[in-house]
A and B are shown apart, each in its own frame.
Chain A
Amino acid sequence: MEIFGIPIQAFLGQLLLGLVNGSFYAMLSLGLAVIFGLLGIVNFAHGALYMIGAYVAFVALDRFGINYWFALILSPLVVGALGVLIERTLLKRLYKIDPIYGLLLTFGLALIFEGVFRYWFDVSGQSYPVPELLEGATNLGFMVLPNYRAWVVVASLTVCLGTWFLIERTRLGAYLRAGTENPALVQAFGVNVPVMVMLTYGAGAGLAALAGVLAAPVIQVTPLMGSNLIIVVFAVVVIGGMGSILGSILTGLALGLIEGLTKVFYPEASSIVVFVIMAIVLMIRPAGLFGKEK
């Protein structure tokens, strides 16, 4: 069976890989959007935190024999704690000044993390085995579905929708949204805003780490995996607009799919297609697909 002259198995395989990448875009842009909403900081270190998340899983397995499933919990906790530390010691000094400085500070953090991990692990990269339970593939008749990739898509979609539910449908989320609009007023109503801000950054960092653990078995774990990804995620965020949670999830998935399709039909352009789409969206709808015009 063929589609546009390309074997359907290869076609669907690339599409699935696109969806897997899209899930990572969705999780990372979601974290970026939440952090930006409450802290007003564009977190350049998000890619580095994602990288550290993958390395925590790698080291946990390699040195301590802690398996994948525990790493899924352990790594976000470790990186979340690191996030809390960063927020308390550095970011909180920047809330009253131009948001540009937040971007620059987190850029410096990313350089430090990347440099340290390059020293520890070299640039060549490590591979992380697929957990036993998810090894192999399922034959669906029209395609062979690798179990782990299917799991990544399902797991990250669940996490994304869970985050959406938490922010849009719970009391805690209501505080969070109110804090985004007017932190002083929320503080006056008795909500401890500084703690909320701290935990938000920690949670965003944890989300990035979770994406890192999920990614570890599909890609090579390298110290540079984060910075290569974060710039694409920035483009995703510009395309979607940071206003809407569901918007970031949908944009992330869609762009992953489009990237996968480009890999099938015109592989040379696959690394730039997201940026081209960003340029087009900016010309037609400068505020982004789901952003609100100010």
Chain B
Amino acid sequence: MSSSSGGAQEALARHSRIALWAGLALLLAAPFIGLYPVFMMKALCYAIFACAFNLLLGFTGLLSFGHAAYLGAAAYATGWLVRSAHLPPELGVLVGTAVAALCGLVIGSIAIRRQGIYFAMITLAMAQMLYFVFLQAPFTGGEDGLQGVPRGKLFGVIPLESDTVLYYVVLAVFVAAFLFIIRIVHSPYGQVLKAIRENEPRAISLGYDVDRYKLLAFVLSTAIAGLAGSMKTLVLGFATLTDAHWSLSGEVVLMTLLGGLGTFAGPVIGAFTIIGLQDFLSDRVGSWINVIIGAIFIVCVVAFRKGFIGELLAWQKRRGAGK
């Protein structure tokens, strides 16, 4: 049994490596095969966001239902720093990410005091509080948001005005974030997170300070979500209240669930699917877009909980077992 399942696992690992390289090749070639770069950049930013969210829900078992707040906090911070304080883009992104991590630290240390469904409600409520802060604060531009954020020059030399150049910068950031998350999950620390997800009381009884592990996971996840928000501001040139709204917090759950919870590539595929769908449908169906998103949500929860990648893996496993 061990030899056959080992062989199946090897085949699976080989297949996933091939798929990952193929995906990367596709992303590298994207500007030359006619894929609209601004759309691709936007989708990549949301893919980073979904991967960050997946680190929490998929690999730690914590449902943060207010993740848009961190994306929004970083988006506003970067927008303000680059536009009004004339900081170079790399510093703007760095500080934006740090701001999101700080928000994550404060909110996370409050939210981890409860488990399960309460954790979700607390993170949602705290995110709503941040939303109201952004609505009223003097530096966020209220209902209009921050418009006309310049892209500037990376490290003072590489002008980012060209979509193609910025695309490769965003792609590099995406690949770095993606690899960083794989590294976290496969580290001894990631194994402890998995243990907490599977059985928290057991992890406590084994002597792990579960709260500290969870808080660090929360801060890492919010920092990466912030990175996504900062990059998004640079790409699109604005930061608005939509970035921090609860509906985006819901959408990132859907991206992750649709692509495959607890898989590496799943959130990326989910993000591209949802952003692509919104882009395609926005001028065709108007306000029905929310109805469609809601319907996909329900179908996912009732009948498709493994998501694309999860179903694919399960199918591979069945095929391997059938041999």
Once A115-B288, A118-B287, A238-B122 are accepted as A-B contacts, the answer to whether A108 and B295 lie under 8 Å apart by CB is yes
Partner of A116, one of B253, B291, B302: B291
Q: Is residue A278 within 8 Å, beta carbon to beta carbon, of the partner chain?
A: yes
A94–B300 alpha-carbon span in the complex (Å): 12
Question: Inside 8 A of A109's CB, which chain B residues have their CB?
Answer: 294, 298
Q: Which of A36, A112, A116, A272 contacts B132 (CB 8 A)?
A: A272
On whether the beta carbons of B65 and A111 are closer than 8 Å, the reply is no
Q: A171: which B residues are within 8 A, CB to CB?
A: none
Number of interface residues of A (CB under 8 A): 41
Chain B, range 247-268, C-beta contacts under 8 Å to A: 247, 250, 253, 257
B302 close to A238 (CB less than 8 A) = no
| Partner of A115 from B65, B114, B116, B291 at Cβ < 8 Å | B291
Residue pair A115, B287 in contact (C-beta under 8 Å):
yes
**A101 touches which one: B65, B286, B305 (CB < 8 A)?**
B305
Least CB distance from A109 to B in Å reads: 7
B113 in the interface, Cβ–Cβ < 8 Å?
A: yes
**Quick one: given A109-B294, A115-B291, are A103 and B65 in contact (CB under 8 Å)?**
yes
Are the C-beta atoms of B125 and A278 separated by less than 8 Å?
yes
Partner of B113, one of A108, A118, A283: A283
> Would you call A42 an interface residue if the criterion is a C-beta within 8 Å of the partner chain's C-beta atoms?
yes
Instruction: Indicate if the CB atoms of A282 and B114 lie closer than 8 Å.
Output: yes
Beyond A101-B301, A286-B114, whether A107 also contacts B120 by CB under 8 A is: no
Cβ of B238 under 8 Å from chain A: no
Say yes or no for B126: interface residue by CB 8 A criterion.
yes
CB atoms of B136 and A268 under 8 A apart: yes
A104 CA / B298 CA spacing, docked (Å): 8
Q: Does A100 contact B (CB under 8 A)?
A: yes
Could you give, for residues 294-311 of chain B, a 1 whenever the CB lies within 8 Å of some chain A CB and a 0 otherwise?
Answer: 111110111001000000
In the complex, the answer to whether B302 meets A107 with C-beta atoms within 8 Å is no
Q: Which of B111, B132, B135, B287 has the most CB of A within 10 A?
A: B287
Is B165's CB within 8 Å of the partner chain A? no
**Within 8 Å of chain A (Cβ to Cβ): is B293?**
yes
Contacts of A268 in B (CB 8 A): 136
Q: Are B297 and A111 in contact (CB under 8 A)?
A: yes
Contact: B133 with A272, CB < 8 Å?
Answer: yes
Residues of chain B with a CB closer than 8 A to A111's CB: 247, 250, 290-291, 293-294, 297
CB pair A103–B246 under 8 Å, yes or no, is: no
Mark contacts of B13-43 with chain A using CB atoms, 8 A cut-off: 1 yes-contact digit, 0 otherwise: 0000000000000000000000000000000
Contacts of A97 in B (CB 8 A): 305
Task: For residue A229, give the distance in angstroms from its CB to the closest CB of chain B.
Answer: 11
Cα(A251)–Cα(B124), bound, Å: 19
Residues from chain B with a CB closer than 8 A to the CB of A278 are 122, 125-126
Task: Mark contacts of B41-71 with chain A using CB atoms, 8 A cut-off: 1 yes-contact digit, 0 otherwise.
Answer: 0000000000000000000000101000000
B293: A residues at CB distance < 8 A:
108, 111
B301 touches A94 (CB 8 A): yes
Rounded to whole angstroms, the CA-CA distance of A119 and B285 in the bound complex is 11
Residues of A contacting B129 with CB < 8 Å?
Answer: 272, 275-276
6 closest pairs, A vs B, by CB?
A: A108-B297, A111-B294, A115-B291, A275-B129, A115-B290, A112-B294
The contact sample of 12 A-B pairs, CB cut-off 8 A, is A94-B302, A104-B253, A108-B301, A114-B290, A115-B290, A118-B290, A231-B246, A232-B125, A234-B125, A271-B135, A283-B110, A286-B114
Which A residues are within 8 Å of any B CB, using their own CB? 36, 42, 90, 93-94, 97, 99-101, 103-105, 107-112, 114-116, 118-119, 227, 231-232, 234-235, 237-238, 268, 271-272, 274-276, 278-279, 282-283, 286
